[in-house]
Structure 1
Amino acid sequence: MQERVIARQRTAIGRGDLSMPVRQSLRDGILQSDLSVLDFGCGRGQDVERLRRMGFQSKGWDPHFSPETDLDVNQIVLLNYVLNVIENPAERQQTLASAWALTSRVLVVACRLKWELSSINGVTSGDGLVTSRNTFQHFYSPGELRKLVDEVTGTRCVSPTPGVVYAFRRDEDRFAYLARGAIADFEWSDSEDYASAVSELIAFTERRGRPPLFEEIPAGLLPILGTLSRRSMLEVIQKGASPERVAEGFKRSTLDTLLYLGTSIFSGRAALRDLPLTVQADIKHCFRSYREACARADRLLAKIRDDSYVRGAMRNSPGKLTATALYVHRRATPKMPVVLRLYEYCGFVAAGRPDGWNILKLDHRGRRVSWSSYPSFDSDPHPTLDWTYGVEMTSLDSSFQRFGDRSNRPLLHRKEEFLDHADPHHGKYLRLTEAEVRAGLYQNPSIIGLEDGWKTELQRCGVSLRGHRLVKQR
């Protein structure tokens, strides 16, 4: 019997926009216009063409559509949705190794995930499915994909979002990427005169709690500042900066640095000289030594395992605290205590943070991080759950559930409880909740968590919603 030949080229689909992993790489600063890009297994080459139109030095190779492209080393190599369609596990590893050999900076790997299985009809074959179009698909779990890339490249990889993995050639590039996620960057504004340039120096100092290094000042500001010496610059900043804001910035930089060093245990703690220059400056300014900074970060990391400490932090955090977990809106997460920020960031480093989330859940019975999406949180008085993605921190197993296509979806009440009190929408949501309580809508809490039960209570109480206002039914 003749062996069936899989038509891999049929998986190359047309897209109306950049693919998800390319968009993610742009957001993360992985793709930069001054770096050469090779899309290895580019399919019809739509990402390549769109990147060119955006000013990137991009080219694509594909065994079916673009076999004539020269395969030489590029700074960035994309291997997007290629490993899925290869039916031979050994060939998958070889393809991944070939892509790794072609990059001098970063390899971006993206694959389809197991929770997409329900969207595919096919016949089981090997470790995947053969579809009716005679194509093959192997679906990965986020952990399986990351482990594969780790083993083949021999590096500690990073997963920015489920289904995407970055493998960096140089440790300093990986440390710099992780620092961007943990330490808030300062966005310099354009300056046309000396006064505005000095204002930017002062704003940086108030934000970071320290004056900028010469290397941190944008090249465009240096000619304006002229021959201002370091001593003179410090005197100008000291005269103009608010001591209270500088103290707040110092505290913020200290906590951000502890957050970064705490999570570095997952990706390998570097020598001080290998850290990004900005992180080195923060450590030298906020701590007596690098050793002290690492020791404090380790103590903070150990506190995540302390149930009573975590619950205490949750009681002092924005968000809704229940018997099992803390729920926090995305806008309020910067106000969480640093141990909870570290808790969430560990989940991100372990399994990737999904795009489009707006409600964070941190369990205090056990250790689990979940990100959920309520797309209409601000526009709908009782938004419904679209999906949730979570990772068990003890096993690093991740799971995904979709609710958006169900007929009776979970929904939220008391939206103000998920926000910080300073949030501009907090008052509006609170007034709605108070009106709903007066109307008796929360008398049966066991049934209002789903759409059907909530509609039943609205009818029982003779009220309806107009935006964030409760009105009586005629």
Structure 2
Amino acid sequence: MLQRAWSSDRRLTAISRGGLSAPARQAVVDRQVTPGCSVLDYGCGRGDDVRALQHLDCQAVGWDPFYKPDAKLEPADVVLLTYVLNVIEDPNERRKTLKGAWDLTGTVLVASARLTWEKSKVKGETFGDGLLTSRQTFQHLFKASELRDYVQEVTGVRTVSAAPGVVYAFKDETARLSYLAQRIVPDAQWLASEDTTSAIAAVVDHVERRGRVPRMEEVPQPMAELLRHLRPSELSRLVRDSADQNKVEEGAKRSTLNTLLFLAVELFNGRGPFNSLPLNVQLDVRAFFSSYKEACQRSDRLLLKLRDDAYIRGAMNASAVGKLTPTALYVHQRALDRLPTVLRLYEHCASIAAGRPQEWTLAKLRHQGRAVSWLDYPDFDTDPHPRTLSSYQVDLKTLETSFTSYADSQNRPLLHRKHEFLAADDPDAERYQRLTAAEVKAGLYEHPHLIGTENGWEAELIRCGRELRGHRLVRRYTE
């Protein structure tokens, strides 16, 4: 445990925030930080995360060598190590600090650092393995894969990239697998129930979506109380008589594919024994496969298919969602789970390796080579031709990442034919498709090489005598 003051004046790197830092917010979103849990912010700076987490009913405390050097260091469920590793100029001290944070961790360590793409924002001279800024502060900028590997090496456990520059290290293998399962198949929402009849209806709904009858351990406690007087055989009969068998079969197929997806991602990140799997995954394996061995063999074959360009291109051609270009398939976040399972695996492997950004709209999957980009179009739903704000890419062969921001660009790339990125039954798809048809009819797509950016698109609108009012194309009137 490292309690002495750090050598350089690192207090100058501590900034004030109006809310949670990005790593702390990610941990809350991922349900690693929940009300009632204990949190230690190790190197808390001015303590903004501590105060924000206390407002969320967390037992949060902070320690910092300058701002809170006398705070008592005690183990906590969650330890936050937020943008600390990159400001330590001594590699040995950096390692000791990470080890000290890990020793205090009860469940999960959330380690974060600034990444190499921020180099343009950091002005300074080379010093050791980083930069010495004009303010005499130090910055070691990590590659995304470097941070993940570094935390993994020091802690001795498999780590997961939660977001760019944010890594989770779990003390318990079961907790890591539960987190992976949650990312791939988020917990289904149970229907509200106030009496036995509505509780049975909620179980029927679950069976239709999952494809199997749940164990009582999976049922929310208040609902289980309502069903406690029913024998298991009686509940199964009631569900069997009420459930739509076609929906049950579709649910079973979906759960089978989701289980294969989870086991393939688990192998990519490190596979554990059967009894370390979350209970719901264990029950899915027993319900939909002859054995754990068979399930693992099928998932291994699925993972191997990621190496086959022809197979990946075939899956993209067969996909019912997404826009296929000569180089990649683009799909909206809302349609991602409609992709063929091997393409969902493709995107998940990239997110586990380098972290999926907190804000993104479209995923871009290259069909030659293996690279995934997450593109952010914050106005996708309100702007008929949304502008790109940023792009984050990871190359799965090298694990190199890159980030491009268009925030200051005067001529940003923009999207056309928005409906093509969505599933056909998306509530907005028909409206977007009507706009595309009107634009095609007006001649706006006659010169596709001109319309990929703001300026080119505006010029074509003027040429065709049109303008946009929301998602309606109207004639442009001049004085």
> Under TM normalisation by the shorter chain, which class is it?
over 0.9
Opposite residue 301 of structure 2, the aligned amino acid is R
Counterpart mapping for 1:155-234 below 5 A:
155-234=157-236
- The runs of 5 or more residues in structure 1 that have no matched partner are none
Counterpart mapping for 1:65-144 below 5 A:
65-144=67-146
- Helix, strand or coil for the counterpart of 2:379? coil
Please give the alpha-carbon distance, in whole angstroms, between the structure 2 residues aligned to 1:53 and 1:457.
51
Match 1:360 to one of 346, 360, 363: 363
- The runs of 5 or more residues in structure 2 that have no matched partner are 1-6
Please give the alpha-carbon distance, in whole angstroms, between the structure 1 residues aligned to 2:246 and 2:160.
37
Tell me the residue number matched to 2:4: none
Match 2:449 to one of 446, 450, 455: 446
Residues 13-49 of structure 1, C-alpha deviations (whole Å, 9 max, x = no match):
1111111111110111111223221111111112112
- Helix, strand or coil for the counterpart of 1:17? coil
Counterpart mapping for 1:243-254 below 5 A:
243-254=245-256
CA contact (8 A) 1:183 1:253 kept: no
Tell me the residue number matched to 1:337: 340
Residues 151-207 of structure 1, C-alpha deviations (whole Å, 9 max, x = no match):
100111001110100000111110110011112322224422111111111111111
Please give the alpha-carbon distance, in whole angstroms, between the structure 2 residues aligned to 1:469 and 1:225.
52
Cα displacement (A) at 1:11 = 1.5
Please give the alpha-carbon distance, in whole angstroms, between the structure 2 residues aligned to 1:184 and 1:78.
24
Please give the alpha-carbon distance, in whole angstroms, between the structure 2 residues aligned to 1:378 and 1:49.
34
- Helix, strand or coil for the counterpart of 1:376? coil
State yes or no: 1:237 paired with 2:239.
yes
State yes or no: 1:398 paired with 2:401.
yes
Please give the alpha-carbon distance, in whole angstroms, between the structure 2 residues aligned to 1:118 and 1:459.
37
Cα displacement (A) at 1:442 = 1.4
Match 2:277 to one of 275, 278, 291: 275
Report the count of equivalent residues.
Answer: 470
Opposite residue 244 of structure 1, the aligned amino acid is N
Please give the alpha-carbon distance, in whole angstroms, between the structure 2 residues aligned to 1:101 and 1:354.
28
Residues 226-245 of structure 1, C-alpha deviations (whole Å, 9 max, x = no match):
33221111111112211111
Residues 100-125 of structure 1, C-alpha deviations (whole Å, 9 max, x = no match):
01112111101111222222333332
Please give the alpha-carbon distance, in whole angstroms, between the structure 1 residues aligned to 2:370 and 2:225.
52
- Helix, strand or coil for the counterpart of 1:449? coil
Opposite residue 239 of structure 2, the aligned amino acid is I
Scaled by the length of structure 2, the TM-score of the pair is 0.95
- Helix, strand or coil for the counterpart of 2:307? coil
State yes or no: 1:34 paired with 2:30.
no
Tell me the residue number matched to 1:380: 383
- Helix, strand or coil for the counterpart of 2:382? coil
Higher mean displacement: 304-313 or 336-345: 304-313
Please give the alpha-carbon distance, in whole angstroms, between the structure 2 residues aligned to 1:439 and 1:221.
57
Please give the alpha-carbon distance, in whole angstroms, between the structure 2 residues aligned to 1:417 and 1:218.
39
Higher mean displacement: 305-314 or 373-382: 305-314
- Helix, strand or coil for the counterpart of 1:124? strand
Opposite residue 393 of structure 2, the aligned amino acid is G
Tell me the residue number matched to 1:258: 260
Please give the alpha-carbon distance, in whole angstroms, between the structure 2 residues aligned to 1:33 and 1:439.
55
Tell me the residue number matched to 1:419: 422
Tell me the residue number matched to 1:349: 352
Identical pairs, percent: 52
Please give the alpha-carbon distance, in whole angstroms, between the structure 2 residues aligned to 1:34 and 1:91.
32
Cα displacement (A) at 1:247 = 0.9
Please give the alpha-carbon distance, in whole angstroms, between the structure 2 residues aligned to 1:268 and 1:413.
40
Tell me the residue number matched to 2:372: 369
Residues 328-385 of structure 1, C-alpha deviations (whole Å, 9 max, x = no match):
1111111111111111111111111111111111111111111100111111111111
Opposite residue 401 of structure 1, the aligned amino acid is T
Please give the alpha-carbon distance, in whole angstroms, between the structure 2 residues aligned to 1:7 and 1:112.
18
CA contact (8 A) 1:313 1:337 kept: yes
Residues 85-140 of structure 1, C-alpha deviations (whole Å, 9 max, x = no match):
11112211110001001112111101111222222333332222333333222211
State yes or no: 1:23 paired with 2:25.
yes
Higher mean displacement: 164-173 or 131-140: 131-140
Please give the alpha-carbon distance, in whole angstroms, between the structure 1 residues aligned to 2:77 and 2:474.
60
Tell me the residue number matched to 1:293: 295
CA contact (8 A) 1:114 1:141 kept: yes
Cα displacement (A) at 1:425 = 1.3
Scaled by the length of structure 1, the TM-score of the pair is 0.96
Residues 396-448 of structure 1, C-alpha deviations (whole Å, 9 max, x = no match):
11111111211111111111111111111111111111111122111211121
